[in-house]
Amino acid sequence: MRRRRRPRARAVKAWAGRFAAPTAPAVEAFTTSLPFDRRLYPHDVAGSVAHARALVRARLLTRREGARLERGLAAVERELDAGRFRFLPSDEDIHMAVERRLTELLGPLGGKLHTGRSRNDQVALDLRLWLRAECDGVDAAVAAVQRALTGLARRHRDALLPGYTHLQRAQPVLLAHHLLAYREMLARDRARFRDCRTRADELPLGAGALAGTGFPLDRKLVARRLGFSRVSANSIDAVADRDVAAEFLAAAAITAVHLSRLAEEIVLWATEEFGFVELPDAFATGSSMMPQKKNPDVAELVRGKTGRVIGALVALLTTLKGLPLAYNRDLQEDKPALFDAADTLRQCLDVLAAMLPRLRFRTARMAAAADGLLLATDLADLLVERGVPFRRAHEIVGGLVRHCLATATALRDLDAAVLRRHSAQLTPELVRRLTPAFSVARRRVTGGTAPREVRRQLARAVREDGR
């Protein structure tokens, strides 16, 4: 006789007792979070091990049972690690999948693990464990981009760049100064992730579904085992809020915006019009039609993906804004936003850390572009040093600029007669001092673009980068 094919495996739901009919397959497909929350499994297992120990402590499990549960959880984790774990359509989420498999392996003992726990505090726990690790991971990835920026700044200590406001040439600056500006932004981003990590550093387990567990579980002990420094103070808050995830996304969105601005400058600088940077071939793409093209797609995608990261922040805040306390299933939507934003941000950070060191700056072109009318402010400042009120000096130099533009003359080349006509204080010796090097050297204030000051900034950056 032919053997009947086994029907597709389907486990009985943990909550099936109250229901007379099975869940519709369409509902299973609609409500599942497995496709995205399975990545939480190491945290889920770690949380369950700590919970099992608390159950032993509270004498809700014998030592032997506790040890068997731990071994069972380790076995489940190994299956997941090895990709051998078989998920079922009836597994609603990673938490149920782990427990279902644990029960298959251990029998009824598996059913004791969920004593005094709800998936609501369980998922809140997993999320905080994930966030804690992810903050560290992102921090390291941002640090790598910082190191790349520091490296570029070191390699181009003396290169001059036209600094822009309104994307109009404004004043000469050192390229290193410009690059270190991004490094500063990233330093604040790292501080935001560290801050988020301290907020995530709180154990929600013990909150139960919302009211707090009815068993005498030692929450402080669980916290210590999982490396948390605090336990949550309010069980309703512990399961209902996701502000720490929103904080992570806000930090991610701000970081992405910083990367996007850097990417936009790379796109601009790589144009023939600017011509300030040559992209490494390995980090550029060509055109399927136009043979001459070399496109900055990497930088463009860093800029483009920023939209997704910002979108994730907006999506989560929108999900949260109308929710009554405490847990609502809407909260499950936190994870796709969170994971996608984190992955996207990490991709952007990694690709920039790899590409930046290989950018070739056309420093001669940059320096040439940093000369000319960008020195007008310095001329006004020189007049101020000769006692002319700044507003008057501004007006005098404005008139000279008009003259230069009308006669296609450089400020430095204006002759004595023209200069005298504009101000008694102006001489050819004075205007001949106007060079980009002179301009930057004057800006010795803390944080200014003078070579000496930039060197000091750079030394601090090198120290902080730990090399």
Which residues does the annotation mark as catalytic? 166, 287
With contacts defined by CB under 6 A, how many residues of the chain interact with ligand ARG?
Answer: 10
Contact call for residue 90 and ligand ARG (CB under 6 A): no
From the CB of 208, what's the least distance to ligand ARG, in Å? 11
Q: Does 197 bind ligand ARG (CB under 6 A)?
A: no
Q: How many whole angstroms separate alpha carbon 204 and alpha carbon 224? A: 13
Q: In the set 52, 123, 186, 355, which binds ligand ARG (CB under 6 A)?
A: 123
Q: Which of 48, 90, 103, 120 binds ligand ARG (CB under 6 A)?
A: 120
- Shortest Å distance, C-beta 62 to ligand ARG: 29
Residues contacting 77, CB < 8 A, separation 6+: 41, 42, 45
| Sole window of 257-265, 267-275, 293-301, 325-333 interacting with ligand ARG (rule: CB under 6 A) | 325-333
Q: Rounded to the nearest whole angstrom, what is the least distance from the CB of residue 119 to ligand ARG in the complex?
A: 4
Q: Provide, rounded to whole angstroms, the least separation between the CB of residue 45 and ligand ARG.
A: 16
How deeply is 439 buried, as exposed, middle or buried, from its count of CB atoms within 10 A (0-12, 13-18, 19+)?
Answer: buried
Among 78-86, 116-124, 158-166, 297-305, which window interacts with ligand ARG (CB under 6 A)? 116-124
Do 62 and 56 contact (CB within 8 A), yes or no?
yes
Pick 126 or 202: Cβ nearer ligand ARG: 126
Q: Does 332 bind ligand ARG (CB under 6 A)?
A: yes
Would you say 378 and 390 are in contact if contact means Cβ atoms under 8 Å apart?
no
Residue 92 vs 189, nearer CB to ligand ARG: 92
Q: Does 18 bind ligand ARG (CB under 6 A)?
A: no
Rounded to a whole number of angstroms, the minimum distance from the CB of residue 131 to ligand ARG is: 14
Closest CA to 374 of 408, 411, 426: 411
CB of 213 to ligand ARG, least distance (A): 15
Cβ proximity to ligand ARG: between 147 and 242 the closer is 242
Q: Which of 113, 259, 331, 351 binds ligand ARG (CB under 6 A)?
A: 331
Residues 6+ apart with CB under 8 A from 353: 141, 144, 145, 147, 148
Choosing from 53, 119, 178, 443, the residue that interacts with ligand ARG (CB under 6 A) is 119
Nearer to ligand ARG, 91 or 378 (CB): 91
- Cα–Cα distance between 69 and 400 in angstroms, integer? 84
| Three-point CA angle 216, 222, 227, nearest 5° | 160
Per CB under 6 A, does 319 bind ligand ARG? Answer: no
State the DSSP H helix or E strand holding residue 164, giving kind and residue range, or none if neither.
Answer: strand 160-165
Question: Shortest approach of ligand ARG to residue 36 CB, angstroms?
Answer: 9
Nearest to 352 by CA among 256, 251, 454: 256
Query: To the nearest whole angstrom, how small is the minimum distance from the Cβ of residue 97 to ligand ARG?
Result: 10
Alpha-carbon span 268 to 200, nearest angstrom: 39
Write the DSSP assignment of 428-454 as a string of letters.
Answer: HHHHHT--HHHHHHT--STT---HHHH
Q: Is 207 in the site for ligand ARG (CB under 6 A)?
A: no
Q: In angstroms, rounded to a whole number, what is the distance separating the alpha carbons of residues 145 and 173?
A: 22
In the bound state with ligand ARG, the residue whose beta carbon lies nearer, of 175 and 244, is 244
Q: How far apart are CA 356 and CA 351, in angstroms?
A: 9
Site string for ligand ARG, 25-44 (x = CB under 6 A): --------x---x-------
Position 329 contacts ligand ARG (CB under 6 A): yes
End-to-end Cα, the chain, rounded Å: 74
DSSP state of 325: S
Query: Are the CB atoms for 113 and 60 separated by under 8 Å?
Result: no
Can residue 93 be called a binding residue for ligand ARG (CB under 6 A)? yes
Distance (Å, whole) CA 198 – CA 220: 17
Residue found by looking up tokens 């008057």 in the block: 392
With CB under 6 A as the contact rule, which of the stretches 157-165, 169-177, 329-337, 358-366 interacts with ligand ARG? 329-337
Binding flag, residue 349, ligand ARG (CB under 6 A): no
146 scored as a contact of ligand ARG (CB under 6 A): no
Q: Write out the residues near ligand ARG by the rule CB under 6 A.
A: 33, 37, 93, 119-120, 123, 327, 329, 331-332
